[in-house]
Structure 1
Amino acid sequence: MLWLYILVGLLSLIAGLALGFFIARRYMMNYLKKNPPINEQMLRMMMMQMGQKPSQKKINQMMSAMQKQMK
């Protein structure tokens, strides 16, 4: 009878961990989609700090590449 309680406890723990992982993953994916970590202004500043003169075309290319990578 004791082994049954231990088995149910372990199965509940494993199910809770798996469910928590997938809920946290979905939350973070939605958060990053709504609030991207890098925007055009930040990208422009980074390029200027590296000594490059950023053109709008280059920034658009980099932003579209980052958006494709997010999907």
Structure 2
Amino acid sequence: MAAILGAVAGFFLARRSMMSYMKKNPPISEEMMRSMMTSMGQKPSQKKLNQMMAQMKAQAAQADKK
């Protein structure tokens, strides 16, 4: 019984820590966005990169609320 409770508690603890890690360190950085835009033939400006990163953070925050 204790093993089952430990496994369940461990799962939720690991899930919570992973979600906070992903929030602090998003999987896509500005450098990755810049290289993607360059490969698509666009010349990325810093303003456009900042807008895209802000949109991604807003979407992630909205997804967390659900």
Q: How does 1:17-36 map to 2 (within 5 A)?
A: 17-36=7-26
Q: For residue 50 of structure 1, what is the aligned residue in structure 2? A: 40
Give the aligned CA root-mean-square deviation in angstroms: 1.9
SS of equivalent residue, structure 1 residue 36: coil
Deviation, 1:46, is 0.9
The runs of at least 4 consecutive aligned structure 1 residues that moved more than 6 Å come to none
Give the TM-score normalised by the residue count of structure 1: 0.67
CA distance in structure 1 between the partners assigned to 2:3 and 2:19 by the alignment:
26
**Number of residue pairs aligned between Structure 1 and Structure 2:** 61
User: Which has the larger Rg?
Assistant: 1
TM-score, L = length of structure 2: 0.71
Deviation at 1:12, TM superposition (A): 4.9
Using the aligned pairs only, state the percent identity.
59
Is 1:39–2:26 an aligned residue pair? no
Mean CA deviation greater in 15-24 or 55-64: 15-24
